[in-house]
Amino acid sequence: MLEGMEGVSSFAKDVDLAIWVVIGMSLGIFVIVVGVMFYFLYKYSAKRHRRDQIKNIEHNLVLEIMWTVIPTFLLGVMFYYGYTSLKVMREIPEDNLHVKVTGQMWFWTHEYPNGKVTNDLYVPVGVNIKLDIGAKLNDVLHSYYVPAFRIKQDAVPGKVYSAWFRADKTGSYDVLCAEYCGTRHSYMLSKIHVIDKERFDTWYDSDQKTPFDEPGVLVAQEHPGLAHLEANGCTGCHSLDGSVVVGPSFQGIFGRTFNVEEGGTLKEVLADEAYLKRSILDPDGQIVEGFSGGMMQSYEGVLSDEQIDEIVDYFKHGDTLAQEAPAVDAMDILNSNGCTGCHSLDGSVVVGPSFQGIFGRTLKVEEGGTLKEILADEAYLKRSILDPDGQIVEGFSGGMMQSYEGVLSDEEIQALVEYFKGL
Ligand code: CUA
């Protein structure tokens, strides 16, 4: 079964019941109508009746009362189940953790009461979560859609609509945008990670970016400029690896020469400090050849001068930082060790589970003859590389994979885990 398909929020059962009642009644009516239709086709066939034998019936009081009363009753039943399931969704419990959700082209941000801001939402299991859902001013309509929780709420600029849920099961569940909002609508994805209360509390009071990070590791490495780029969703449209998404890639951008269009004429510009700042504050002033204007807002007043300086500094030095990092390439490791022969990168199942989206997923594993649920966090991924048969994912067989203890260095394993986080 798809993760979360059975419904994870406390009111998922009410919503599902309402749907099944409507589907059940519709199916019943369908069978009756089509059944009667076929019966009449047979009974009143021209072979068995002559035209002059057919009576013209003008009224039938009993039938007329029946076809008024029965549908009214059925509608009443549908209304009852629809109303009661809507009521539990609308009555937000007072004791809740309150998270502000903002949609903008093309990502979601979640802001916690203590000021923490994340792209994925992390919540403790069994706690009431209130979501205040809105969209950024001057943005377009989005819709916050969490199928596993049976939540779908429009996100409208300048308005706030509240929703709530209490997840009764740990795991990672998809958040989608359910309102067509432009080029990257289908990429406007996030996740809700439902985690243990202790894990949540430890993270909530720390300065770690996510509860899955090992304490201190990522925070220390990250350039503040990169942090601003990620927090403002820049990397949703500008890649860091040279691939072209909506705008030019940030990779090696500093010092490159671009053909830009300014007021209808093409010219060459050097991407120096002045140019990079200009393009953050006035993106449509000069548009890089091959790209479209009107895709990006000005960040004047959104980013402070200091933040813009840090971003430009990242463009200048970000690449060198990356070069100083240990030169281990996760794809090389996967390919040269044959991992990708058995584990696909695209979600298809070969011999072992696919690597796609593996990080943060909840897996059912068999350990010593018993089934249990575990979260594919850093520790789990490392374990499964070093001791593949220790816990075997449900649906797969043991004895297929060797241990990579001594084959891969700690550094290489760490690189793989980091790579899985981004898959
Ligand atoms: Cu946001 Cu579609």
> Where are the chain's structural domains?
2-90, 97-204, 225-324, 330-422
Is pLDDT larger for residue 388 or for residue 5? 388
Asked whether this chain's domains 225-324 and 330-422 adopt the same fold, the reply is: yes
Q: What is the mean pLDDT of the chain?
A: 85
Among 227, 245, 225, which residue's Cα sits nearest to residue 237?
Answer: 245
Instruction: Report the first-to-last Cα separation within the chain, whole angstroms.
Output: 22
Atom of ligand 1 nearest to the CA of 185: 2
CA 154 – CA 142 distance, rounded (Å): 6
Do 145 and 177 meet the contact criterion of CB atoms below 8 Å apart?
Answer: yes
Position with higher pLDDT, 323 vs 368: 368
Upstream peptide bond of 106 is cis (omega within 30 degrees of 0): yes
Topology annotation, domain 225-324: Cytochrome Bc1 Complex; Chain D, domain 2 (1.10.760)
Residue (of 178, 186, 190) closest to 142 by Cα position:
178
Fold of 2-90: Helix Hairpins (1.10.287)
Secondary structure of residue 340 in the 3-state scheme: helix
Q: Is the pTM of this model over 0.85?
A: no
- The ligand 1 atom nearest the CA atom of 142: 1
Q: Which residue has the higher pLDDT, 302 or 77?
A: 77
Q: What is the Å distance from ligand 1's center to 238 Cα? A: 18
Nearest CA residue ID for atom 1, ligand 1 = 142
Give the binding-site residues of ligand 1, using a 6 Å CB cut-off. 103, 106, 142, 177, 179-181, 185, 188
- Give the residue-averaged pLDDT of 219-241: 76
Give the pLDDT confidence of 166-212 residue by residue, as tens digits: 998 889 999 999 999 988 899 899 999 999 999 899 889 887 878 87
Query: Which of 416, 363, 362, 407 lies closest to 387 in space, CA to CA?
Result: 407
pLDDT of the residue at 311: 86
Topology of the domain covering 97-204: Immunoglobulin-like (2.60.40)
Rg (CA), the chain: 28
Read off the tokens for 36.
């009667």
Q: Which ligand 1 atom sits closest to the C-alpha of 178?
A: 2
From ligand 1's centre to the CA of 419, what distance in Å?
A: 27
- CATH C-level class of 330-422: mainly alpha
Over residues 271-300, mean pLDDT: 85
251 C-alpha to center of ligand 1: Å? 26
Q: How far is the CA of 154 from the centre of ligand 1 (A)?
A: 10
Mean pLDDT over 379-393 rounds to 86
Could you tell me the CA-to-CA distances from 192 to 21, 127, 282, 341 in Å, in that order?
A: 29, 14, 34, 31
